[in-house]
Amino acid sequence: MADNVVGVLAMAYGTPRSLDEVEAYYTHIRRGHKPSPEQLAELVARYQSIGGVSPLNEITRKQAEGLARLLNEEGDPVAYRVYTGMKHAYPFLADTVKQMAADGIEQAVGIVLAPHYSAMSVGAYITAVQKAAELHGGPDYIFVHHWHTQPEYLQALLVRLEKALGEFAAAERQEVYLLFTAHSLPERIKEMQDPYPDQLRETATILADQLGHSRWGFAWQSAGRTPEPWLGPDVLDVLKQLHAEGIERIVICPVGFVADHLEVLYDVDVECKNLAKQLGIRLVRTDMLNADEDFLRALTAVVRNHLQKG
C-alpha cells in the first residue's frame, strides 16, 4: 500500500439485518448468554413497532460513504479508504481490522460514531481494535477518543434544535423545555471517574447557551436491565416530574446519539411520545444527524484534525 493511503475505521454499534438475526444479536450483546424467550419476544416486538428492522446499518453505510467522498474531494495529497466495523453485528470490528491489514493499510484513523467518551463504550471499541491489530500486524491506529465540542458538530445540532423549537409558536418558544438525553451506563462509571456524564453535560450546556435558552435539563434513557444500578434519572421519570411542575411543551434532543435507531425510534418516538400524550405534553424530537451533509463535514474535520495531530 502506498505511503499516502490512510485507512479510516468508522465504528458503530450495529443492529440486526432482519428479525431472524435478533436472537444472535441479543446473545452477542449478552456476551454469549442467550436471552430468555420473554426477553427475545420483547425485543422482537420493539423492532416490529419501528417497521421490523432498524435503519442504523444503512445509515452507518451512508455515513462511511459520505465521509470517504468528502475526505477524498478536498485536494488532500492523502488518499483515504474508509471501512466500517460494528461492535455487535456484521461486519464485526475484528473482521474489518483483518481486512484492512490484508488490504495493506498501514496507518489508520479509528473513530467511533459517538461523540462522547466512556471507557465502557468508546474505550471498549478501541480495545477491541487494538487487540485485532496486534493479532494481524496492523494497521497502526490513531484513535479519536471524543469530539463532543467539535464546532461543526455543535452547529449541526443547533440547526436541528432551532427547527424543533420552530414547531412551537414564537410566543411559546421560551416556555419550551429542552430535554437532552443519552444512553445510560452503569453507575459504577462514576467510581472510575469516567468523563462520559461530564462530556454530555458540556455539550448540552454549550447548545443551551448558544440558543440563549435557560429552561433545559438532562435525562438518561435506554438503561440496561441488569441487577446493578444505572445512571439516572430516567427520561420517563423526568417527563412525569416536568408534567407535575406544569411544563406542557418539551423538545427532546437525544444528544448522545447521532443516528436514527432503536433507542431513538422506539425509546423516544414510541415510549416517550406515548407517555407525553397521556400527560397532555406536546413533545417534539430533534431530527438526528444521520448521514446529512453538515454532519459529514463535521466527521471529516474530526478525522483530518486527528490525523494531523497524530
Q: Give the pLDDT confidence of 48-73 residue by residue, as tens digits.
A: 999 999 999 999 999 999 999 999 99
Would you identify the CATH topology of the domain 5-147+291-309?
A: Rossmann fold (3.40.50)
Q: CA separation (Å) from 96 to 4, 30, 45, 80, 100? A: 20, 22, 31, 16, 6
- What is the model's pLDDT at position 3? 61
Share the mean pLDDT of the chain.
Answer: 96
CB 148 within 8 A of CB 217: no
For 133-142, how does the pLDDT look when each residue is reduced to its tens digit (9 = 90+)? 999 999 999 9
For residue 193, give the amino acid letter: Q
Per-residue buried b or exposed e for 116-149, using 16+ beta carbons within 10 Å of the residue's own CB? bbbbebbbebbebbeebbeeeebbebbbbebbbe
Q: What are 17-43's pLDDT values in tens digits? A: 999 999 999 999 999 999 999 999 999
Over range 212-238, report the average pLDDT. Answer: 96
H/E element, 89: none
| pLDDT band at residue 77 under the 50/70/90 scheme | confident
Measured CA to CA, the distance from residue 86 to residue 154 in angstroms comes to 25
Q: What is the mean pLDDT of residues 116-142?
A: 98
pLDDT of 75 above 80: no
pLDDT over threshold 90, residue 300: yes
pLDDT of 2 higher than 60: no
Report the percent of the chain where pLDDT is more than 90.
95
Comparing 5-147+291-309 with 151-285, is the CATH topology the same? yes
Mean pLDDT of 226-232: 95
pLDDT confidence of 1, banded at 50, 70, 90? Answer: very low
Percentage of residues of the chain with pLDDT beyond 70: 99
pLDDT tens column, 150-179: 999 999 999 999 999 999 999 999 999 999
Q: Residues in the chain, how many?
A: 310
Closest-CA residue to 220 (of 178, 181, 265): 181
Query: Is 11's pLDDT higher than 90?
Result: yes
The whole-number pLDDT of residue 305 equals: 95
Sketch the domain layout of the chain as residue ranges. Answer: 5-147+291-309, 151-285
Contact of 89 with 25, CB cutoff 8 Å:
yes
In which band, very low, low, confident or very high, does the pLDDT at 121 lie, cut at 50, 70 and 90? Answer: very high
Q: At the top level of CATH, which class does the domain 151-285 belong to?
A: alpha beta
